[in-house]
C-alpha cells in the first residue's frame, strides 16, 4: 500500500454499501461507527492541508530570510575590514604601513 496517496474520501466511506449475511452486523451500529470514522478522517485531512500550507509558508519565509542575509553580509564584511585597516593605521602609524 502506498502511504503517500489517500485512497478514500469521507464521501467514499459514507456511500460504501456492505452486503448483509444471515448473521450480519447491526446496520445502525455500523453506520454510527462509520460516521465517527468519517469525521475523524475529514479532520485529519484538514490538519494535513493546514500543515502543508504552513510548511510552504515557512519555506518561503526561510528563503526570503536567507536572500536578505546574503547580500548585506558582503558589504558588512568589507566595511569591517576597512575599519580595521583604518584603525591599524591610526594605532601603528607609518610603522605599520612600512612593514607591509
Q: Which residue has the cell 607591509?
A: 100
- What mean pLDDT is predicted for residues 23-35? 85
Contacts for 96 with CB less than 8 Å, ≥ 6 apart:
88, 89
pLDDT tens-digit profile of 64-83? 877 766 555 566 677 888 88
Whole-prediction pTM: 0.51
- pLDDT value, residue 2: 44
CB 34 within 8 A of CB 16: yes
**How far apart (Å, rounded) are the C-alpha atoms in residues 16 and 30?**
11
Q: How far apart are the first and last CA of the chain?
A: 71
Amino acid at each position: 500500500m502506498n502511504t503517500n496517496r489517500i485512497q478514500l474520501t469521507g464521501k467514499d466511506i459514507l456511500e460504501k454499501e456492505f452486503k448483509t449475511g444471515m448473521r450480519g452486523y447491526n446496520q445502525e451500529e455500523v453506520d454510527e461507527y462509520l460516521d465517527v470514522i468519517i469525521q475523524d478522517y475529514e479532520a485529519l485531512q484538514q490538519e494535513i492541508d493546514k500543515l502543508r500550507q504552513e510548511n510552504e509558508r515557512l519555506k518561503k519565509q526561510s528563503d526570503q530570510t536567507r536572500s536578505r542575509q546574503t547580500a548585506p553580509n558582503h558589504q558588512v564584511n568589507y566595511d569591517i575590514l576597512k575599519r580595521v585597516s583604518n584603525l591599524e593605521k591610526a594605532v601603528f602609524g607609518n610603522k605599520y604601513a612600512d612593514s607591509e
